[in-house]
Structure 1
């Protein structure tokens, strides 16, 4: 895992290129505290801050081929690098390191962009071809690793995180009202959105080519649910689930440093922990967040699983005061508006993990999307079959809808019956599964002075995807989750950005193509969808404590508005002040002020979920304006500020290297 940054065909003075590119890398040094390297050529300057995991002694970047023609700056891991290396060696390629960076470079030299579908991992890279005068930017198929780019003058700048652009002379940040409205509506940026004007995110499963001033975009991996194997029975499905997850975990344990596990208290991370212990046969380090507020705490199941694994368990107890204190730093690392505070404890946990000497962890992200673990999927099944179901079947399914709500009973069922009756027919073309969720998004969009249609970009995305039109309602729901909330929030704001803020790489065994393909082929074939993740639970029932296996979905949440209302941190002045709000002309300031007064003065039970979410969107949007648009934060004040040692310098203008 690393961070990359650079400039291509820039009008920066040649003598200033080393200073600018090292400044960009310094802004994201938290991603790679183990070393910094860069190369400079006439049209290109780029570099890497490195988190040394594979072949630490020989993996310094940028990495060039023997002829000095092709240069690579690479972020992430290709887990099947050993298999690809053997294939390339059989073709005559010679390797000088044991790191996957060299495998990526040689794979590109052998197969060009056809190498991308062969890569099994989470990655983003920049590849510069001196002979062709071309820059390539590429990203993994599930969007685990970020890569942003933007036009700047006659050229282009790119980086793993947008804060690197703060170091580019003349680069200005402007928040994009249309993108922010879209983010508020669906809770997350779309695959190419950044929230800022002119800055694009390379979408998942895509690559970008830049040559002679032209930017061309290409897709190498499309998301479908029809690539899985034929499965004859539930028993066969359970066996395949075990086999594929075991293979996936084994690949993600390839490392020259110790690999830990995040335990959430749920079955997904418990399975990952079990397989890790079975495969490694070594003492295991596990990490969890505990909450002082019992409403959010899962420490009993976390400790039960840690005892079961015999792990060295590290529990971090998080209070409301901790969340309020760390929120600005966590938002700075997230870089996009956010509707929850749950990413802040993950920011704090990654710091604790790195302090314990661990810089690689496995986690359970992606399991709910693959195995229908969210209420959203059950709600979609229920609503899609509403008109064909009799009253008894509707009631039976409604009874099974929310087993994790302790007080869910007949009165609640009566209320949701009317709601589902109202939403039994599609209102938003192609977005049936998410229409209930988007009601909260519509409320949040009231923060915008002119939100337009906040769902227009998402509607356009599904309309231009032919395979989507042929999917079932539940498959469409999965597709939307894989394309929106998973990469835009769970893998980034709550995942990669928080872990890399402290130099910790997060690997996700459930986000292996073979695992995802299998899940697509077995869901609803051997289960009615209302017993969440039944096949997955049954596949590992004999290996885990029964209380963990049978525990229903407990959504990971953290104290939201209550944390700020109690702590009253100074930065709340940014959303209380008329002058501060006036600096963001796209905000509906009166609505923002009324909302702020209400949520900070009302008792917690007097604040609705949509008000909670909207306030956090407001606060994070204003903090981002403060940090990026106004540049009011001093980078050296960050608790995550690090200075990696200089490892490698290549100046191709003089053919000198050090």
Structure 2
């Protein structure tokens, strides 16, 4: 992954400070670092060859991390001669919104004008290349990793209890929040404009859905396949490339198109688990045979999990509780051993084309809203909730559950089964910790994101929410950090800007046809994907942690040791941890094992941070 870091407004002649900040950026993948300094600004970029560019001239310092593409042909030609950073420095008069609109692709950028005391920071439309920032006095500091910021003397690195609470709620810390006080992350498709000590953050891009599309299916299919081919070709260019292959529709599509684009068998990589109900290797093998890939497999063991946990916690600059990071790491490591330098992932397909099971479920719940209120309140609900002995009648129990969930407004309804909500915050956290937390903030943050979309349909409003919460805050960091730990780049063809724009033009029914998920996507790929892949249930690289925790002594010892130390931090109640690892885990290992993992990774993250 590597990254970028720097500042404006700090007067120091010591170049070793910016190089010190950059050390965490290349810690795991060993990438080279470039740096430059002005009188009151500095920047460093750690990246593989071709993914970094720095320009310094006349008090203006510009830098780019990633693989941006200039939309304008004349500017692209100029960039080929002078570099993208020089072009951006020369176009800064456009202002931040128009400047960012010049670019496609995955990138983080800075343009620092120390004479004017002005800076522009930006991240790409999916936040594949993240940016964290902080103002300290008259200095603006920024980095793709909070670990880099912590190395600057102006940064205190004080833990924010709200960030910890949000982590336990979501199993990650949603942007723009962080786990540190006074630190913030840029949202996807946003810029920061700093002028004479004043900060403004605004979107330069939003997902705009055209919901009344009238293009024929044949026309759409032809365009889709062309866009897909272009996106995979662009993502694969300039690297020895492989592809994640879980056997799902997204990864199988990317793997098959990679074979088509290159004209040679693609290298594909899959992870399996020797645990009933978790192993989907056979679907990956079906896809591999169908497309003729050079397929590579690895079966993750409990011992592998124990070995990887400290490193996974170390590579994440925020607490991160997505257990799938472990199998993703072993998959990427297997590829790296074969000389692969870039891995293509299928992430984004669900969020663009309507592939998550909850979209169908929420469609069913939304049907209740169409029932006239008088009929709901005067007849249906009294009959269901007041029926004598109704709790003993299966049909009535299901009807009651349906009405209760359907009566919760969106997007809070999506969190009906939230683990922390089920336990209760007061049962999980200490009273002292909760005194410094707004327990309503997670749902309030969801609502702000949900309400920011101008989509008219339920499916598109959920897609807009998931592009931020599920993709940018969770799935992309999982893959990016796993690949960084393994020493390879990650790229996501579905997030190609033209592909994203194409998906926005599909009608709601082409994404969710009744309760049929990603209708257009699957119809368009019939004959390309194997039928078994098109009709399979969604799964992915899920980790059987709860099951293994009951059986494997090493995992038990690591979890017990971690949670024992977490008790001493005064965040989580000791009696809750005792209940969780005792009665709860015995009752349902898969369900309660998730919270064990989340709390264990929180403690592991603390251990990896200096001064924790």
Shorter chain as denominator, the TM-score bin is 0.7 to 0.9
2:356 corresponding residue in structure 1: 374
1:9 corresponding residue in structure 2: 9
Correspondence 1:555-566 to 2 at 5 A: 555-565=540-550, 566=552
- Note if contact 1:208-1:215 (Cα within 8 Å) is conserved in structure 2: yes
Deviations 1:437-474 (A, max 9, x none): 43654537443335555343542563587653763332
Question: In 1, distance between residues paired with 2:75 and 2:420?
Answer: 51
2:569 corresponding residue in structure 1: 584
2:554 corresponding residue in structure 1: 568
1:637 corresponding residue in structure 2: none
Q: Which moved more, 1:278-287 or 1:478-487?
A: 278-287
- How far is 1:330 from its partner? 0.5
1:213 corresponding residue in structure 2: 197
- How far is 1:139 from its partner? 0.6
**Does the alignment pair 1:342 with 2:339?**
no
**Does the alignment pair 1:530 with 2:527?**
no
Structure 1 residues 25 and 412, CA, compared in 2 at 3 Å: closer, same or farther? farther
**Does the alignment pair 1:180 with 2:180?**
no
Question: Which structure exhibits the higher relative contact order, with contacts defined as CA atoms closer than 8 Å and separated by 6 or more residues?
Answer: 1
Question: In 2, distance between residues paired with 1:349 and 1:519?
Answer: 29
Correspondence 1:96-175 to 2 at 5 A: 96=81, 108=92, 113-152=97-136, 154-169=138-153, 171-175=155-159
Alignment equivalent of 2:475, drawn from 490, 499, 511: 490
Question: In 1, distance between residues paired with 2:276 and 2:461?
Answer: 35
**Does the alignment pair 1:20 with 2:6?**
no
- Note if contact 1:261-1:287 (Cα within 8 Å) is conserved in structure 2: yes
1:614 corresponding residue in structure 2: 595
Local SS of the residue matching 1:630: coil
2:67 corresponding residue in structure 1: 77
Correspondence 1:167-316 to 2 at 5 A: 167-169=151-153, 171-226=155-210, 230-253=213-236, 255-316=237-298
2:48 corresponding residue in structure 1: 51
Correspondence 1:397-546 to 2 at 5 A: 416-427=398-409, 430-438=410-418, 441-443=421-423, 445=425, 446-449=427-430, 451=434, 453-456=438-441, 458-459=443-444, 462-463=447-448, 468=453, 471-492=456-477, 494-526=478-510, 528-546=513-531
Q: Which moved more, 1:614-623 or 1:467-476?
A: 467-476
Question: In 1, distance between residues paired with 2:88 and 2:28?
Answer: 20
- How far is 1:417 from its partner? 4.3
1:88 corresponding residue in structure 2: 75
1:649 corresponding residue in structure 2: none
Local SS of the residue matching 2:141: strand
Structure 1 residues 273 and 608, CA, compared in 2 at 3 Å: closer, same or farther? closer
- Note if contact 1:139-1:204 (Cα within 8 Å) is conserved in structure 2: yes
Local SS of the residue matching 1:96: helix
1:362 corresponding residue in structure 2: 344
Question: In 2, distance between residues paired with 1:9 and 1:509?
Answer: 38
Question: In 1, distance between residues paired with 2:590 and 2:261?
Answer: 45
Local SS of the residue matching 1:543: coil
Deviations 1:357-392 (A, max 9, x none): 1121211101111222111101110000035479xx
**Does the alignment pair 1:40 with 2:37?**
yes
Question: In 2, distance between residues paired with 1:112 and 1:197?
Answer: 26
- Note if contact 2:171-2:322 (Cα within 8 Å) is conserved in structure 1: no
Local SS of the residue matching 1:568: helix
Unaligned runs of 5+ in 2: 373-392
Q: TM-score, normalised by structure 2?
A: 0.86
- Note if contact 1:142-1:204 (Cα within 8 Å) is conserved in structure 2: yes
- Note if contact 1:343-1:498 (Cα within 8 Å) is conserved in structure 2: yes
Deviations 1:134-165 (A, max 9, x none): 23221111121211122345423321111223
- Note if contact 2:107-2:129 (Cα within 8 Å) is conserved in structure 1: yes
Question: In 2, distance between residues paired with 1:104 and 1:375?
Answer: 42
- How far is 1:574 from its partner? 4.5
- Note if contact 1:285-1:312 (Cα within 8 Å) is conserved in structure 2: yes
Alignment equivalent of 2:581, drawn from 571, 596, 603: 596
1:634 corresponding residue in structure 2: none
Question: In 1, distance between residues paired with 2:219 and 2:201?
Answer: 40
- How far is 1:323 from its partner? 1.3
- Note if contact 2:28-2:315 (Cα within 8 Å) is conserved in structure 1: no
Structure 1 residues 454 and 183, CA, compared in 2 at 3 Å: closer, same or farther? farther
- How far is 1:576 from its partner? 4.1
Structure 1 residues 571 and 252, CA, compared in 2 at 3 Å: closer, same or farther? same
- Note if contact 1:575-1:622 (Cα within 8 Å) is conserved in structure 2: yes
How many equivalent pairs are there? Answer: 584
Question: In 2, distance between residues paired with 1:88 and 1:236?
Answer: 32
Q: Which moved more, 1:442-451 or 1:135-144?
A: 442-451
Structure 1 residues 150 and 141, CA, compared in 2 at 3 Å: closer, same or farther? same
Deviations 1:100-131 (A, max 9, x none): 55665555577754131232212112222243
Unaligned runs of 5+ in 1: 391-410, 632-658
- How far is 1:244 from its partner? 2.6
- Note if contact 1:37-1:48 (Cα within 8 Å) is conserved in structure 2: yes
- Note if contact 2:460-2:508 (Cα within 8 Å) is conserved in structure 1: no
Question: In 1, distance between residues paired with 2:275 and 2:294?
Answer: 24
1:62 corresponding residue in structure 2: 54
